[in-house]
């Protein structure tokens, strides 16, 4: 049963990466159905809910995204069991609120997630938190702070060799730092071309996963 759960969950991840969001939700929900039959559920349910939330976030269905993230947080032991994941959910909720236009408590919540991730030396998490905070500061017209955070973000993403985060950061820098926009866009295009190779790998993995399931 756990093998079947993993297959459905993996298919959900693949379809999410391929931006076939309805299919991603379908397979994540199938994974949740099979999880009911598994004795040791650990935090798999919460991870699935978070994954579904990310799909809805991509679809700009922000209310549904927040509901799924908050449902995952209903596990009162989550902070003790997996504090990195707990911080991720806090960040996901805050950023989704920001995308929906609700900025009331966004800054405070994003900073809570950032402090947690920084204290855990979770560099990949810090990269995401700082990038989200930079968008908030750009929205508030604090361009200097936004650019500072993005430069820090790019350096950290480069440190952990996370090309996708570097790509996102370059795109934001091109929009916010108008004086250097063309340079950032050139670097963005170059990096994006190299990531097309990764996209082909994902499609190959997708075919293999279908074969296994």
pLDDT digits (tens, 9 = 90+) for 113-160: 999 999 999 999 999 999 999 999 999 999 999 999 999 999 999 999
pLDDT band at 188 (very low <50, low <70, confident <90, very high): very high
| pLDDT number for residue 23 | 96
Give the phi and the psi of residue 73 in degrees, each rounded to 5: -75, -10
Q: What is the pLDDT averaged over residues 30-36?
A: 91
pLDDT band at 196 (very low <50, low <70, confident <90, very high): confident
Res. 208: pLDDT tops 80: no
Buried b (16+ CB within 10 A) or exposed e, 137-169: bbeeeeeeebbebbebbbebbeeeebeebbbbb
Q: What is the DSSP string of 138-178?
A: HHTT-HHHHHHHHHHHHHHHHHTT-HHHHHHHHHHHHHH-G
| pLDDT number for residue 38 | 81
Which residues lie below 8 Å from residue 119, measured CB to CB, with a gap of 6+? none
| pLDDT number for residue 194 | 78
% of the chain with per-residue pLDDT over 90 = 76
Dihedral of the alpha carbons of 189, 167, 59, 43, in degrees to the nearest 10: 150
Q: How far is CA 78 from the centre of its chain?
A: 18
| pLDDT number for residue 207 | 58
Helix (H, G, I), strand (E, B) or coil at 19: coil
End-to-end CA distance of the chain: 12
Res. 86: pLDDT tops 80: yes
| pLDDT number for residue 6 | 87
pLDDT band at 16 (very low <50, low <70, confident <90, very high): very high
| pLDDT number for residue 101 | 97
CA distance 156 to 144: 19
Q: What is the DSSP string of 88-142?
A: HHHHHHHHHHHHHT--TTHHHHHHHHHHHHHHTT-HHHHHHHHHHHHHHHHHTT-
Q: What is the pLDDT averaged over residues 187-200?
A: 81
Q: What is the pLDDT averaged over residues 4-8?
A: 89
Pick the residue with more confidence: 175 or 195? 175
Q: Which of 109, 108, 15, 88 is nearest to 46 (CA)?
A: 88
């Amino acid at each position: 049963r756990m093998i079947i759960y993993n297959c459905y969950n993996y298919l959900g991840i693949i379809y999410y990466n391929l931006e076939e969001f309805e299919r991603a939700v379908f397979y994540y929900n199938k994974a949740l159905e099979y999880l009911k039959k598994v004795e040791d559920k650990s935090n798999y349910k919460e991870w699935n809910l978070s994954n579904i939330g990310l799909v809805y976030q991509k679809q700009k269905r922000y209310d549904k995204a927040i509901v799924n993230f908050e449902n995952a947080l209903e596990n009162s032991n989550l902070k003790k069991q997996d504090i990195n994941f707990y911080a991720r959910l806090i960040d996901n909720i805050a950023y989704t609120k920001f995308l929906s236009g609700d900025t009331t408590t966004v800054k405070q919540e994003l900073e809570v997630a950032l402090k947690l991730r920084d204290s855990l030396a979770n560099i990949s998490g810090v990269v995401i938190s700082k990038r989200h905070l930079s968008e908030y500061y750009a929205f508030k017209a604090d361009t200097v702070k936004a650019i500072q955070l993005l430069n820090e973000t790019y350096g950290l993403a480069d440190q952990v060799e996370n090309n996708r985060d570097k790509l996102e950061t370059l795109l934001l820098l091109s929009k916010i730092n108008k004086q250097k926009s063309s340079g950032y866009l050139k670097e963005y295009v170059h990096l994006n071309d190299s990531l097309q190779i990764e996209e082909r790998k994902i499609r190959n993995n997708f075919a293999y996963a279908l074969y296994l399931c």
